[in-house]
């Protein structure tokens, strides 16, 4: 459907804008981390982390912009963007070496409920997210520390599915409304094409009352009007003509 196609194009545009915003944020993180403001950690590695991932996200944003009108659906591109976001947050968790960086993973989990529209895509992504986070968290703090944040990760997954259901219903209602508007507009256009009006000067014979059409041919009044309007004719005879015909018939009798 044309309405769904337009929505997918706008969705790709929104993904590209979001990716550009994330890339700018990561580039801003480079001087911030150089200043030592984030706290203790391997600053050189963290600066490289922000710059490298900023370039990756920027490149993906450029790809989203180029592919905006070339893909049938934005779901695959959205899934790829979420994987990049997971890569940013999980490597940041390993780089800082502290579980407080799980906040970034929680944010990615929630955003996936907005970005991914298909339930299968969200289930697959949330499974990957939990597996990657658990693996990284165990390396950082062991199982005991991981269990503390695991509840928050599961809660974020639940919220993500709730967001997806809400947005899915809203999107379905919007598509239904757009489709009804499209059908109504199509019917109105069809009716407009069928309705024709007569206007201007119409050349009519003063004697036989035939009308000259655009092709220069003379045709009966009934044919001319029926071809240019929805009017239909039913024939009868007026009193004057009836009396004239009666007299003519009487004159023909022997």
pLDDT digits (tens, 9 = 90+) for 154-164: 999 999 999 99
Q: Where are the domains of the chain?
A: 2-192, 211-252
Tell me the pLDDT tens digit for each residue of 129-146. 999 999 999 988 888 778
pLDDT at position 168 over 70: yes
More confident residue, 63 or 232: 63
Q: Which of 15-24, 180-189, 210-219 has the highest mean pLDDT?
A: 15-24
- Which H/E stretch holds residue 118? none
Tell me the pLDDT tens digit for each residue of 28-65. 887 776 776 655 556 777 788 889 999 999 999 999 98
Query: DSSP letter string over 44-75?
Result: HHHHHHHHHHHHHHHHHHHHHHHTTTT-S-SH
Query: DSSP letter string over 212-233?
Result: E-TTS-EE-HHHHHHHTSS---
Residue 210 is predicted with a pLDDT of: 85
As a whole number of angstroms, the distance between CA 53 and CA 31 comes to 15
Tokens read off for 254: 């022997």
In the chain, % of residues over pLDDT 70: 91
Burial (0-12, 13-18, 19+ Cβ within 10 Å), 178:
middle
Q: Residue 204 gets which letter from DSSP?
A: B
Whether the CB-CB separation of 159 and 113 falls below 8 Å is answered with yes
- Which H/E stretch holds residue 211? strand 211-212
Single out the residue of 29, 132, 38, 20 nearest to residue 81, CA to CA: 20
Residues 6+ apart with CB under 8 A from 74: 8, 11, 12, 15
More confident residue, 16 or 193: 16
Tokens 């379905």 locate to 172
Candidate from 58-67, 73-82, 92-101 with smallest mean pLDDT: 92-101
Residue 50 is predicted with a pLDDT of: 86
As a whole number of angstroms, the distance between CA 50 and CA 40 comes to 16
């Amino acid at each position: 459907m044309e309405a769904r196609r337009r929505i997918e194009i706008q969705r790709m545009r929104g993904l590209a804008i979001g990716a550009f915003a994330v890339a700018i944020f990561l580039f801003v993180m480079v001087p911030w981390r150089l200043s030592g403001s984030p706290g203790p950690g391997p600053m050189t590695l963290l600066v490289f982390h922000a710059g490298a991932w900023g370039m990756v996200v920027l490149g993906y944003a450029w790809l989203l912009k180029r592919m905006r009108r070339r893909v049938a659906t934005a779901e695959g591109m959205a899934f790829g963007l979420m994987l990049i976001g997971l890569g940013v947050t999980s490597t940041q968790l390993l780089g800082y070496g502290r579980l407080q960086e799980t906040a970034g993973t929680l944010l990615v989990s929630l955003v996936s409920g907005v970005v991914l529209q298909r339930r299968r895509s969200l289930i697959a992504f949330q499974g990957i997210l939990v597996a990657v986070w658990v693996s990284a968290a165990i390396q950082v703090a062991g199982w005991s520390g991981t269990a503390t944040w695991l509840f928050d990760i599961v809660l974020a997954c639940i919220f993500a599915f709730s967001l997806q259901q809400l947005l899915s219903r809203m999107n379905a209602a919007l598509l239904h409304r757009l489709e009804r508007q499209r059908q109504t507009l199509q019917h109105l256009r069809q009716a407009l094409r069928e309705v024709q009006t007569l206007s201007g000067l119409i050349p009519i014979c003063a004697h036989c009352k035939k009308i000259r059409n655009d092709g220069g041919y003379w045709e009966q009044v009934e044919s001319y009007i029926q071809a240019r309007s929805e009017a239909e004719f039913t024939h009868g005879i007026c009193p004057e003509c009836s009396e004239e015909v009666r007299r003519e018939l009487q004159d023909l009798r022997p």
